[in-house]
């Protein structure tokens, strides 16, 4: 009996030494809530939108962008009732056209949004009211992007401060992503000081919150999340049930994440990217300190989502029998 108690004490001490305020190991994430029957489909009416699309919110408007389509690339809808309001910008090399559409940054204060063109290496500025009023509206060039180091996604705070995921090409077919403070006006990039050590071929998705002054990195080939503040100070690393320091070539964990009030919500796959199981069907919910709270299982393959704070719901793009839906989070998280 004494030997058994001694062994249990060793196991307990080892477990405590692994878990700390900054290093969390979550071997179980088994509080699963099935929300499939709460997913509410909505229609884009006569606007046909391809499966490869992304969703953003600006004020009372839902922005949906498409890739490589013969029609316009950017569509605006009323976010409350999903009525189509306007579409803008064709794909192409001409004036006011976009060759390779990227991230959409939003400026609530000035009712404008920014669209990256990774073909022309430019970021275009769109006046929201002009887009709604003029079907032939052409955006202005906000800035030119550098070829060797450029923002891929970012949270716009003002012209002199964005929290961005920066891409730095390495060689002919590789790149290095990082999180940095980025100045749109001067183009200065200041990398955040914390990076998880000794990871090979890092790939991550990222989300940031102006309200909480935090950002989260969710890694694609490691069962790992990192939360930091806007000065790059580590808040915590969260190691999931499949955590391994060795890179996986087949498993795919994260696809998108966002802040929902005082929660972090992340899409989680954990399956082989060579199959349809690559598409996540569930959201993992954490508090702002990385503690796991619950799993929301939708039963649908999800490609992208955004959070509508005013209506407290997720607006979701799917690669399934339905294409767009929303999930009311009231009484769920």
**Tell me, what's the pLDDT at 245?**
87
CA Rg value for the chain:
21
**Domain 23-328 class?**
mainly beta
State the pLDDT at residue 298. 97
Q: Tally DSSP H helices, then E strands, for the chain.
A: 2, 26
**pLDDT for the residue 278:** 73
Which residues touch 13 (CB under 8 Å, ≥6 apart)? none
Per-residue pLDDT, 325: 98
Instruction: For residue 311, give every residue at least 6 positions away whose Cβ sits within 8 Å of its Cβ, in sequence order, or none.
Output: 79, 80, 326, 328
Whole-number pLDDT of residue 171: 80
Residue 109 to residue 113: CA distance in whole angstroms: 10
Q: Find out whether 214 and 246 touch, Cβ atoms under 8 Å.
A: no
| Of the candidates 195, 197, 235, the residue with the CA atom closest to the CA atom of residue 20 | 235
Output the CA torsion 299→52→111→95 (10° steps).
Answer: 180
Nearest CA to 63 out of 150, 153, 165, 131 is that of 131
> What phi and psi values does residue 132 have, to the nearest 5 degrees?
-70, -30
pLDDT string in tens for the chain (333-residue length): 455 444 444 444 444 445 788 999 999 999 999 999 999 999 998 999 988 899 999 999 999 999 888 899 999 999 999 999 999 999 999 999 999 999 999 999 999 999 999 999 999 999 999 999 999 999 999 999 998 899 999 999 999 999 999 999 998 889 999 999 999 999 999 999 999 999 988 999 999 999 999 999 999 889 999 999 999 999 999 999 989 888 876 666 777 899 999 999 999 887 666 766 778 999 999 999 999 999 999 999 999 999 999 999 999 999 999 999 999 999 999
Stated pTM of the model? 0.92
Q: Contact at 8 Å (CB) between 230 and 215?
A: yes
Chain centroid to CA 157: how far? 17
- b/e burial code for range 38-58 (CB count within 10 A of at least 16 → b): bbeebebeeeebeeebbbbbb
- What pLDDT does 7 receive? 45
Give the model's pLDDT for residue 13.
42
């Amino acid at each position: 009996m004494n030997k058994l108690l001694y062994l249990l004490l060793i196991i307990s001490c080892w477990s405590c030494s692994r878990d700390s305020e900054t290093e969390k190991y979550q071997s179980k994430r088994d509080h699963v809530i099935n929300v499939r029957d709460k997913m509410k489909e909505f229609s884009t009416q006569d606007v046909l939108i391809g499966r490869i699309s992304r969703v953003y919110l600006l004020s009372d408007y839902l922005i949906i962008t498409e890739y490589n389509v013969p029609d316009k690339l950017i569509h605006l809808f009323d976010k409350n009732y999903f009525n189509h309001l306007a579409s803008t910008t064709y794909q192409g090399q001409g004036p006011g056209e976009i060759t390779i559409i990227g991230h959409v940054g939003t400026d609530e204060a000035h009712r404008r949004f920014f669209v990256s063109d990774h073909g022309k290496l430019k970021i275009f500025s769109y006046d929201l009211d002009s887009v709604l009023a003029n079907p032939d509206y052409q955006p202005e060039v906000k800035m030119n992007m550098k070829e060797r180091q450029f923002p891929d996604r970012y949270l716009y705070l003002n012209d002199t401060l964005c929290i961005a995921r920066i891409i730095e090409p390495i060689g002919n077919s590789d790149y290095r992503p990082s999180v940095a403070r980025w100045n749109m006006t001067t183009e200065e990039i200041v990398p955040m000081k914390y990076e998880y050590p000794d990871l090979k071929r890092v790939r991550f998705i990222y989300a940031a919150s102006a309200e909480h002054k935090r950002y989260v990195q969710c890694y694609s080939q490691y069962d790992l999340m990192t939360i930091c503040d806007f000065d790059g100070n580590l808040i915590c690393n969260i190691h999931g049930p499949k955590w391994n320091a060795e890179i996986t070539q087949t498993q795919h964990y994260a696809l998108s994440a966002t802040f929902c009030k005082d929660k972090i919500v992340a899409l989680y796959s954990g399956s082989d990217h060579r199959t349809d199981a690559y598409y996540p069907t569930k959201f993992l919910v954490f508090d702002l300190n990385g503690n796991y709270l619950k799993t929301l299982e939708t039963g649908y393959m999800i490609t992208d989502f955004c959070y509508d704070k005013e209506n407290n719901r997720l607006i979701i793009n799917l690669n399934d029998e339905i294409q767009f839906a929303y999930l009311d989070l009231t009484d769920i998280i």
